[in-house]
Amino acid sequence: MGALGAFEAVRRETKFAPADLTTVDADGTFSGYASLFGAADLARDVVVPGAFAASLRKRGVRGIRMLFQHDPALPIGVWSTVREDRRGLFVEGRLTPEVAKAREVLALMRAGAIDGLSIGFRTVRGRTDARSGVRRLHEIDLWEISVVTFPMLPDARVTSVKTDSGLAARLRAAARAIRR
């Protein structure tokens, strides 16, 4: 079984959150919230504080992938920070300009065409309230956080995207190298 098959063999879930990218800077670095504590998403799931703690200790920031549209064949960058704070799951990462899809994602972010974040995870411990149908997620095994088109959690947002004036030149050089 290949890496993709192993990835798909484990039941995983995804949750989406929109991102507000009013100013997109050139180096592809951005930050925001991939999940908000206490907020019900469109599937009626609510993440509780501490739900990511064990997974973050186990995997560390380097063990959580940045993907496009939850596709394990489309890594687009790296996370530099993934941590819980009192609001939710705060993330900061950088799109990798040497990757064609990352350059496309950056262009789409700048245009406002892609503005979502989504978590890919496995529920370790959760409880559904029989009366309300709301599922409280107490422990989550976080695998990846994706930049997506359609978010599930309407209130989670990217809060900033940084610029680097040298990135445009690096992007052009990377594109030329790929064409050779």
Catalytic residue set: 70, 118, 144
The Cα 173–Cα 180 span in angstroms is 11
Q: What is the DSSP letter of 40?
A: B
The Cα 75–Cα 64 span in angstroms is 11
Contact 117, 34 (CB under 8 A): yes
Nearest partner of 93 among 160, 22, 15, judged by Cα? 160
Q: Which amino acid is at 103?
A: R
Query: Which residue is associated with the tokens 């989670």?
Result: 156
Nearest partner of 162 among 44, 30, 33, 37, judged by Cα? 30
The Cα 103–Cα 78 span in angstroms is 14
Would you state the structure tokens that stand for residue 93, as one six-digit string?
């990462």
